């Protein structure tokens, strides 16, 4: 009986430790629909759910591109929040301690619009001339 219970606990702990290795975060941009590149590779458009099994401290580099907006380069790392499942799994098997931290659930970024000058400057000779005020002499009666 005790042997079966121990096996069940070990299988459950091993299963939790495998599941706890993955971490996900949602990447959002304002405005949405920006092309998203993760570590230089195009992966889709925002909003995008990113999942990986990298170890604690790993850095992810992301770039967002959208017409009419400046490109936005960001990075986030896998040490933003503790992962309870991996910590519990790590008690039974030391390997999950490499995944004891995870990403925040959501990363939101605001993109900055580019400023294009659509109107050509008016040539100097076409600019209006503002008349100067002149002083009038008042007539004395």
Both tokens of residue 68?
A: 């009419």
φ and ψ of 29, to 5 deg: -130, 155
Pairing of strands 35-38, 41-45: antiparallel
The SS3 assignment for 70 reads coil
Q: What is the pLDDT of residue 140?
A: 56
All structural domains of the chain with their residue ranges: 2-114
Q: What is the pLDDT of residue 8?
A: 74
Q: What is the pLDDT of residue 38?
A: 93
> Under CATH, which number does the domain 2-114 receive?
2.60.40
pTM for the whole structure:
0.58
66-95 pLDDT, tens per residue? 999 999 999 988 776 666 666 666 656 555
- Count CB neighbours of 39 within 10 A: 11
Angstrom CA distances, 51 to 7, 42, 43, 103, 104, stand at 30, 15, 12, 9, 12
Query: Which residues of the chain have a pLDDT value below 70?
Result: 1-2, 6, 9-20, 80-101, 116-141
């Amino acid at each position: 009986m005790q042997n079966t219970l121990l096996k069940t606990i070990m299988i459950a702990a091993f299963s939790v430790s495998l599941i706890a290795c993955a971490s996900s975060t949602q990447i959002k941009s304002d405005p949405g629909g920006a092309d998203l590149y993760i570590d230089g590779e195009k992966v889709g458009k925002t909003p995008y759910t990113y999942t990986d099994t990298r170890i604690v401290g790993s850095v992810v580099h992301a770039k967002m591109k959208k017409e009419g907006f400046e490109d936005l380069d960001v990075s986030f790392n896998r040490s933003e929040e503790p992962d309870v499942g991996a910590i519990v799994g790590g008690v039974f098997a030391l390997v999950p301690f490499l995944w004891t931290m995870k990403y925040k659930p959501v990363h939101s970024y605001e993109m900055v619009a580019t400023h294009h000058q659509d109107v050509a400057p008016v040539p100097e000779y076409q600019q209006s001339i503002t008349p100067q005020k002149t002083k009038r002499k008042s007539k004395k009666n």
